[in-house]
Amino acid sequence: MKADLSQESEEILNITALTHEGIGIASRQDGKKVFVLGALPDETATVRVMKRHRRYEEAVVIELKQISPQRIEPHCQHFGLCGGCQLQHISHPDQIKFKQETLKSLLIQISQLEFSEAQWMSPLLSDNTGYRRKARIGVKWDGKKNTMYVGFRERASNKLAKLSICPILFPAVGQRLEAIKTLIMSLSIKDAIPQIEMAVGEHERPEVAQVALVFRHLKPLSTEDIDLLKVFGQENQLDIYLQPGKPGSVYQIYPILTVPEDTENLLTYSLNIDNKKLAFDFHPLDFTQIHAGINQKMINQALSWLALEETDKVIDLFCGLGNFTLGLALKAGKVIGVEGEAKLIVKAKHNAAKNQLADKTEFHVANLFDIKTLESPQPWIDKVDVLLIDPPRSGAKEVCERIERWAPNKILYVSCSPASFARDAGILLNNKNYELTHIGIMDMFPHTHHIETMALFTHKGNKRGKNGQSKGRPA
């Protein structure tokens, strides 16, 4: 539907709540809801209706008549245009409160959970600017406007926003968007670069960053183009990679020249656990947690909640390249990692060997959404003490529905989607005889509506010793 920008579409509304995506909600007298971009609860605003639907309408704020005490001045000049952040107009403490209340309401609504305040753990917090170490940055050349766009999409649009800086991206990139634009405009194929992948690792010292940019290009680069990219990398202390085709085609051109899938392409990040440093090698296109500070705290919290013993057997589902697996292996007797992407399992095995943990770990490739796989004999489906689940946004419904196959005493569930987590929690709580003992949010994506959750479920049939440690396994 085309936007209606006529004067008649403007009206004054009272905002009463926020959607889970951080959009203001107003209700007319006839009961029809209006979703207002940029509005907060307890505000009165002149809004302009942009789209009309049978049951609801979409609008934007034109003028605020009454301002919420939660509202602050966004720290990014592009907030409101760029869709990368949704909550910069809310104070950071109020963002955390909003996310906790969103998660709580979904759990009550979807899983019928009755909360005890003792279940809620303090949120994990860290830096809320310059934190993003992984990102896919859009690129588009508009010849008609003679303009280069580099950044994220506009809010509620497929168009790229015209950005000059990005305060949430790692500063080596977020503060250089204009320089990157200038670089791409100087290339002979400026109209054939659709995206740049950014990945940040560490040099030998964790405080020194190694920043990689992977330029996807749809046409061949000239020798002059490659020289310009190398010079840019040298001047800005950036590692430069090219991607001429599928992900497997990536290779590095600065500071060294590699071939696709060469081990020299790998970056590294580290975790410190009980004075032991674990080093993880990863390819710039591999999935890694975007916030290094929260990742470290997340691993520490997982180990603290689980209180593993040397005799414990642990399964780590959706293990990726071993982010949780290796920390668990420092504490438990045996940890088995399972992941659907074969290339990540290769990295997980590599990382286990690199950290002298190969003898305590085992890895398997499997589709954890495939019912036949989950119901057939597998070397990684066996009775265990602890099951760790860290699924993608779609959740782990198929695993939770068959949790008896592992019969764990404890389940640690790490989620990036409150809706799928609430659904899966309902399965464990209402159908599988588990109880929720700990839950808390992790501020992995400050200033966005994304909610990262960690929850610990314990089987009600457990027999416990004096220290609350599990002494039995559910049948």
Q: Give the separation between CA 186 and CA 225, rounded to whole angstroms.
A: 8
How many C-alpha atoms does 376 have within 13 Å on its Cβ side? 8
- Tokens found for residue 96: 């955390």
Residue with tokens 């710039």: 284
- Tokens found for residue 275: 């004075």
Q: Give the separation between CA 338 and CA 315, rounded to whole angstroms.
A: 8
Catalytic option among 82, 166, 400, 416: 416
Specify the pairing of strand 17-18 against strand 56-66.
unpaired
For residue 71, which phi and psi values (nearest 5 degrees)? Answer: -75, 135
Asked if 64 and 51 count as a contact pair (C-beta separation under 8 A), the reply is no
Asked if 387 and 410 count as a contact pair (C-beta separation under 8 A), the reply is yes
Can 166 be counted among the known catalytic residues? no
For residue 227, which phi and psi values (nearest 5 degrees)? Answer: -65, -40
Contacts of 23 (CB under 8 A, 6+ apart): 35, 36, 37, 39, 86
Question: What is the greatest pairwise CA distance in the chain?
Answer: 73
Q: Which residues pair with 46 in a beta bridge?
A: 12, 63
Rg (CA), the chain: 24
E strand residue ranges, 255-402: 267-273, 276-282, 313-317, 334-339, 361-365, 386-389
Q: Give the separation between CA 315 and CA 310, rounded to whole angstroms.
A: 14
Closest-CA residue to 58 (of 106, 105, 5, 7): 5
Asked if 441 and 465 count as a contact pair (C-beta separation under 8 A), the reply is no
Asked if 236 and 179 count as a contact pair (C-beta separation under 8 A), the reply is yes
Q: Give the separation between CA 419 and CA 107, rounded to whole angstroms.
A: 8
Measure the CA angle with vertex 92, ends 88 and 93; round to 5°.
145
Closest-CA residue to 412 (of 421, 420, 404, 402): 421
Q: Give the separation between CA 39 and CA 272, rounded to whole angstroms.
A: 41
Positions marked catalytic: 416
